[in-house]
């Protein structure tokens, strides 16, 4: 017969074996859970790395953001005047090139007049599109054999391709090319805004520049609404001599000024290549 002590030992062994079995099962579950978590972490890490690589490398066709301080290429917009709005005084010589104009260096505009030569230096950093337009028009002899058609105190206006021949007409001052372009280099912080020696664009409102311009031969205070094209570097005395005789007051009292009493002829106007 089995003694009481042996039965107790057998029961103890059974309890021990059961506890060991339960511990083993629990250990297996922990290992399985840890394995699952590890696999999940690994998947998350792989996905994260892939996303980082895609973002870091990017698409070859995606435009790279502009670095701070990096120069932006100038784009000139030539706004054509609709055919039905073109006056008879409009001169069609086509549009300037659509290529990006140079925006550093200078170009020199040279006017051969009946009073002498005038040279105007244009800073391309200030007026890349205005200079590009003048270069184009000059290459087409746009201003040759025209005359300055209007004077104000301290100002002489020129550039109408239809202002030519004997005497003056009511249409003088209405001519230009078949396009217009935006303002550049407005002297908003300068005083006087238009000092003697400055050359500025005439316009009929914001961003309506064409071919007309005016020489400032005495300091003038105007609202800073006119593109400063450049500066007379030679021949300011020529302009002052040409305007000494005054004007006829044809536009008084409004908008003011008149035709120059001296005929001031532009025999030719040329613009150099960028220097």
Can you give 30-92 as a three-state secondary structure string?
A: HHHHHHHHHHHHHHHHHHHHHHHHHHHHCCCCCCCCCCCCCCCCCCCCCEECCHHHCCCCECC
Six-digit token string for 266: 């532009």
Residue-range domain boundaries for the chain: 1-62, 79-271
According to the model, what pLDDT value does residue 6 have? 55
According to the model, what pLDDT value does residue 72 have? 60
- 0.85 exceeded by pTM: no
Phi then psi for residue 169, to 5 deg, are: -120, 160
According to the model, what pLDDT value does residue 18 have? 58
Phi then psi for residue 177, to 5 deg, are: -85, 180
Residue (of 267, 134, 107) closest to 209 by Cα position: 134
Give me the CATH code for the 79-271 domain, please: 2.40.100.10
According to the model, what pLDDT value does residue 254 have? 85
User: Residue 139 to residues 73, 97, 123, 153, 270: CA-CA distances in angstroms?
Assistant: 24, 12, 19, 31, 7
According to the model, what pLDDT value does residue 3 have? 53
What is the CB neighbour count within 10 angstroms for residue 260? 22
Distance CA 199, CA 184 (A): 13
According to the model, what pLDDT value does residue 99 have? 87
CA angle 195, 268, 262 (to 5 degrees): 60
According to the model, what pLDDT value does residue 196 have? 97
H runs (alpha helix) in 146-253? 236-242
Residue (of 266, 217, 269, 220) closest to 239 by Cα position: 217
Per-residue pLDDT for the chain (275 aa), expressed as one digit of tens each?
A: 445 445 555 555 555 455 555 655 555 555 554 444 344 433 333 333 333 322 333 333 334 444 554 556 688 999 999 999 999 999 999 999 988 999 999 999 999 999 999 999 999 999 999 999 999 999 999 999 999 999 999 999 999 999 999 999 999 999 999 999 999 999 999 889 999 999 999 999 999 999 999 999 999 989 999 999 999 999 999 999 999 999 999 999 888 899 999 999 999 999 999 99
Distance CA 69, CA 41 (A): 42
According to the model, what pLDDT value does residue 74 have? 80
Six-digit token string for 154: 């301290």
H runs (alpha helix) in 58-190? 128-139
Strand pairing category for 213-216 and 155-158: antiparallel
According to the model, what pLDDT value does residue 17 have? 56
According to the model, what pLDDT value does residue 56 have? 34
Six-digit token string for 165: 């021949």
């Amino acid at each position: 017969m089995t003694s009481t002590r042996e039965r107790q030992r057998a029961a103890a062994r059974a309890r021990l074996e059961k506890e060991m079995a339960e511990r083993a099962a629990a250990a297996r579950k922990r290992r399985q859970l840890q394995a699952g978590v590890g696999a999940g972490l690994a998947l998350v890490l792989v996905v994260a790395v892939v996303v980082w690589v895609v973002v870091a490398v990017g698409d070859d066709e995606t435009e790279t953001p502009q670095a701070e301080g990096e120069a932006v290429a100038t784009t000139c917009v030539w706004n054509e005047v609709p055919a039905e709005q073109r006056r008879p005084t409009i001169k069609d010589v086509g549009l300037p090139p659509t290529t990006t104009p140079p925006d550093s260096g200078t170009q020199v505009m040279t006017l051969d007049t009946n009073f002498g030569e005038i040279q105007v230096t244009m800073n391309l950093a200030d007026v890349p599109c205005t200079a590009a337009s003048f270069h184009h028009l000059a290459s087409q002899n746009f201003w040759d054999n025209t005359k300055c058609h209007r004077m104000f105190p301290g100002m002489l206006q020129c550039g109408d391709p239809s202002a030519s021949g004997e005497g003056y007409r009511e249409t003088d001052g209405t001519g230009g090319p078949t396009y217009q372009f935006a303002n550049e280099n407005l002297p908003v912080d300068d005083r006087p805004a238009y000092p003697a020696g400055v050359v500025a664009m005439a316009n009929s409102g914001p961003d309506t520049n064409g071919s007309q311009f005016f020489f400032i031969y005495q300091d003038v205070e105007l609202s800073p609404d006119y593109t400063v094209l450049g500066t007379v570097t030679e021949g300011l005395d020529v302009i002052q001599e040409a305007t000494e005789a005054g004007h006829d007051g044809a536009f008084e009292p409004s908008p003011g000024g008149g035709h120059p009493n001296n005929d001031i002829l532009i025999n030719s106007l040329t613009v150099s290549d960028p220097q």
